[in-house]
Structure 1
């Protein structure tokens, strides 16, 4: 082979290595950045509830998948169904790739509906993902005397349900069901999280509540297994395999308008209820790093085993898909939006 030809091939070989060297360089830069640092996961609810349970499980495994293996800690910032945490991290969270906020997807509906108190623009958060797609259910205690959807619908007095605040599933799910299905409901607001609602139900202060099955099942398992609490309604697009015989809200709705309200006001926002995000303007390379680490963690066999033992459902949603789903919510048809504003603002 002639000298010039060998030189050309050598240059081509070097050029072909440049993308790989770029990837390696980026990985090394992230390794250097995260080594010795601490990533905070700020949970918008109290310790012991479903959001806290998921976040602590993720925190135990996330560091292995972040370059540099930083420490990962969980902090609780409860208030207004996660709104306090979402507002705080949006306004004051440093965009340094070290802060993740975990709050409820229904709070995004609060922005769309123009609720007071929402200080963030969901379209500016840097979405990391969600550990599972969720499905809302309503569960009542045996002591309440209501053990089926039929008994609930026929109740002469409103059934007391525990609620955190507008914008959370514990408020918005029963509020939509109250109008769409005509269920007699008295919302008791002010609880800091589902852990408090469960305690209130056990003491007889309320009859139960509505929130995602993926949270209710692991945290209220003892009462469910003992028959002290019963899931009486599932607010889902398809019936859940582990809730045979439990009626679906869509099947009980008598009009197309009622079904549309249930789909748009409950099912769509609940699907990505357990959101993880970083503050606006977080550097793109750190967003990509934590999005990848988040998904790798959720697929890690050790994490999956821990999740199974804790009865945590895992059905990962990546950051890019969360962005797409958020876009769909913001393009909601005006007539539907007007009706939901009437119900939920």
Structure 2
């Protein structure tokens, strides 16, 4: 697998040295045995989106490498911009290792913004794995575009976007499109990005984005068939903390490049600061797997070891890049550091974004 993202994840986030200093040792997991058990992997999104694709790729490999080779079943619990299924996990999951949660930036963002629908506390959980990812924005050729360099043709067009909600991961495109000056109607209430893609295929919306795994699986065929035009990827962070092209999509400009094509200048100012904060929290630290906080350390260690061991599996090595992109799934101190980065934001930026959503979109937190 390509290792370009190794640089990105080191920058990511400032992280590894400090995390190592915390001395997050992993205890031995030899006595854990899930033989004959069924493990439910809760995904708080509908089927067909990036989180669902990510979990369904990992689930059989996780089953193979957990002690006792239990059956791992992905359970979709969509709703509330992912808060519904996450609240259920927080309320019901027992610390026995038989229920795990997969979160996304759409789960982090309501928490970061203080959305009253959130009845979960990230500090109540133990992380097993973190999976950074990216995403690609695309549009329809019916608007006249043929390639990413035609992006200026979208200026002045009436665009419609299917959103899970203003405090979901769809906050990144909301802030990004706004920064670019696009006229976008955000239709809130979709249960997952997979539903947004289906709305695009039905021509109910004309601009969409999918996280990398869903884009590779479900949108690239549309591009190849001439039914979608990619515009840009969100990009990744280089060693200097700058946004550069995503190595999974090297042919596509990053968000920053697309912005420069539109305006002739690099993005800057308070609106870009807000966009950048949520992009950073939402993508380098986007996909995470959790267990309840009272889960014994040996069970947590068993999960971490399984996620590490499966990366050496021939099936994983043969297919991971095609499904997930060039992003390395991580455990231990780096996962802990990404976890902390992805669930922390300054009060000033939180207030800035909440005030903007209320004033310009009529969105009060919890009432999308």
TM-score normalized with structure 1 length: 0.82
Alignment of 1:1-345 (within 5 A): 26-27=29-30, 29-31=31-33, 34-130=34-130, 132-147=131-146, 148=148, 151=151, 154-169=154-169, 171-236=170-235, 237-241=243-247, 243-244=249-250, 246-251=252-257, 252=259, 253-308=266-321, 310=323, 312-329=325-342, 331-343=344-356, 345=365
Q: Is the 8 A contact 1:125 1:279 kept in 2?
A: yes
Q: d(CA) in 2 for partners of 1:297 and 1:242?
A: 21
Q: Structure 2: how far apart are the matches of 1:343 and 1:295?
A: 41
Question: Aligned pair in 2 of structure 1 residues 106, 153: CA closer, same or farther (>3 Å)?
Answer: farther
CA displacement at 1:40 relative to structure 2: 1.2
Between 1:151-160 and 1:67-76, the stretch displaced more is 151-160
Q: 1 CA distance for matches of 2:324 and 2:296?
A: 35
Gaps of 5+ in 2: 1-26, 236-242, 260-265, 358-364
8 Å contact from structure 1 (residues 101, 277) kept in 2: yes
Conserved in 2, the CA contact under 8 Å of 1:136 and 1:267? no
Cα displacement (A) at 1:133: 1.7
Which residue is equivalent to 1:20? none
Say whether the 8 Å CA contact 1:235–1:267 is kept in structure 2. no
Deviates more, 1:59-68 or 1:331-340: 331-340
Q: Distance between the aligned counterparts of 2:209 and 2:185, measured in 1? A: 12
Structure 1: segments with no counterpart, 5+ residues: 1-22
1:311–1:111 Cα change, 3 Å:
closer
CA distance in 2, matches of 1:273, 1:331: 13
Q: What's the Cα RMSD here?
A: 2.5
> Does the residue aligned with 1:160 lie in a helix, a strand or coil?
strand
Q: Closer, same or farther in 2 for the Cα pair 1:83/1:333, shift >3 Å?
A: closer
Cα 1:151–1:110 change in 2 (3 A) is: same
Shift of 1:249: 2.4
TM-score by length of 2: 0.77
Between the two proteins, the alignment pairs up a number of residues equal to 317
Write the distance in 1 (CA, Å) between the matches of 2:154 and 2:228. 19
Deviations 1:218-257 (A, max 9, x none): 2222102223112212222211245455333234253243
Q: Which has the higher helix share?
A: 1
In 2, Cα distance between the equivalents of 1:299 and 1:168? 33
Distance, in Å, in 1 between the alignment partners of 2:315 and 2:339 is 31
- 1:331 is displaced (CA, Å) by 4.9
Distance of 2:334 and 2:322 partners within structure 1:
27
Residues 313 and 332 of structure 1: CA distance in aligned 2, closer, same or farther (over 3 Å): same
User: Of the two structures, which has the highest relative contact order with CA contacts closer than 8 Å and spacing of 6 or more?
Assistant: 2
Residues 67-103 of structure 1: per-residue CA shift (max 9 Å, x gap): 1222222211111232222111011111111111112
CA separation in 2, counterparts of 1:129 and 1:167?
23
Change in 2 beyond 3 A, CA 1:194/1:243: same
Asked whether the 8 Å contact 2:216–2:322 carries over to 1, the reply is no
SS of the residue 1:315 aligns to: coil
Cα 1:287/1:259, change in 2 over 3 Å: same
Residues 115 and 311 (structure 1), Cα distance of their counterparts in 2 relative to 1, 3 Å cut: closer
Match of 2:15 in 1: none
